[in-house]
Amino acid sequence: MKSSYDVVVVGGGPAGSMAAWEAAKGGASVCMLEKDRDIGYPVRCGEAASDLGLRQFVEPKDSWIAKKISGAVIVSPNESKVHVKFANETGYILNRRIFDYDLSRYAANAGAEVYTKAYVKELLKSEETVTGVVVDHLGEEKKISAKIIIGADGLTSRIGRWAGIKTQIRMKDMESCVQYSVSNIDVDPDNMIMYVGENFAPGGYLWVFPKGDKFANIGIGISGKHSKYKSAKAYLDEFMAREFPNAAILTTMCGGVPCAKPIKHPIKNGIMLVGDAAHQVNPMTGGGIVSGMKGGWLAGQVAADAIAKGDYSEKTLIAYPEKLRKDFGKNHERFYKIKEATAALTMDELNSIAENVLKIPFEKRTLASVFKAAVFKKPSLIIDVLKVLSGV
Partner 1 sequence: MIKIIDNKCDFCGTCVTVCPVDCIEVREASISIDHPICIDCDLCVEICPILVLETVDEV
Q: Does 72 bind ligand FAD (CB under 6 A)?
A: no
Question: According to CB under 6 A, which residues from 85 to 104 bind ligand FAD?
Answer: none
Q: Does 49 bind ligand FAD (CB under 6 A)?
A: yes
Shortest Cβ 282–ligand FAD spacing (Å): 8
Question: According to CB under 6 A, which residues from 288 to 317 bind ligand FAD?
Answer: 288-289, 292
- Identify whether the C-beta of residue 369 lies closer than 8 Å to the C-beta of residue 357: yes
DSSP 302-348: HHHHHHHHT--SHHHHTHHHHHHIIIIIHHHHHHHHHHHHHHT--HH
Shortest CA distance to 284 belongs to which of 230, 335, 341, 217?
335
Q: Which is nearer to ligand FAD, 69 or 341 (CB)?
A: 69
Shortest Cβ 198–ligand FAD spacing (Å): 20
Binding residues (CB under 8 A) for partner 1: these are 35-37, 44, 117, 119, 154-158, 161, 167-171, 174, 176-178, 224, 227-228, 231-233, 252-256, 258
Shortest Cβ 233–partner 1 spacing (Å): 5
Q: Does 160 bind ligand FAD (CB under 6 A)?
A: no
Shortest CA distance to 151 belongs to which of 30, 290, 9?
9
Q: Which does 152 bind (CB under 5 to 8 A by kind): partner 1, ligand FAD, none?
A: ligand FAD
Question: According to CB under 6 A, which residues from 186 to 245 bind ligand FAD?
Answer: 219
Q: Which of 281, 306, 307, 375 binds ligand FAD (CB under 6 A)?
A: 281
Shortest Cβ 56–ligand FAD spacing (Å): 13
Cβ-based burial of 81 (10 A; exposed 0-12, middle 13-18, buried ≥19): middle
If DSSP codes are grouped into helix, strand and coil, which group holds residue 87?
A: coil
How far apart, in Å, are the Cα atoms of 313 and each of 28, 129, 140, 387?
16, 8, 31, 34
- Only one of the segments 47-55, 71-79, 180-188, 297-305 lies at the binding site for ligand FAD (rule: CB under 6 A); that segment is 47-55
Q: Does 132 bind ligand FAD (CB under 6 A)?
A: no
- Identify whether the C-beta of residue 213 lies closer than 8 Å to the C-beta of residue 234: no
- Phi (first) and psi of residue 361, to 5 degrees: -60, 145
Q: Which is nearer to partner 1, 60 or 154 (CB)?
A: 154
Separation CA 77–CA 239 (nearest Å): 13
For residue 27, is it left (φ>0), alpha (ψ between -120 and 50) or beta? left
Separation CA 310–CA 133 (nearest Å): 20
- Only one of the segments 65-73, 74-82, 251-259, 346-354 lies at the binding site for ligand FAD (rule: CB under 6 A); that segment is 251-259
Neighbours of 63 (CB within 10 A): 12
Q: Which of 1, 25, 36, 190 binds ligand FAD (CB under 6 A)?
A: 36
Q: Does 16 bind ligand FAD (CB under 6 A)?
A: yes
**Peptide bond between residue 42 and the one before it cis (omega within 30 degrees of 0):** yes
Where do contacts with ligand FAD occur on this chain (CB under 6 A)? 10-16, 33-36, 44-49, 119-120, 152-154, 156, 177, 179, 219, 255-257, 275-277, 281, 286-289, 292
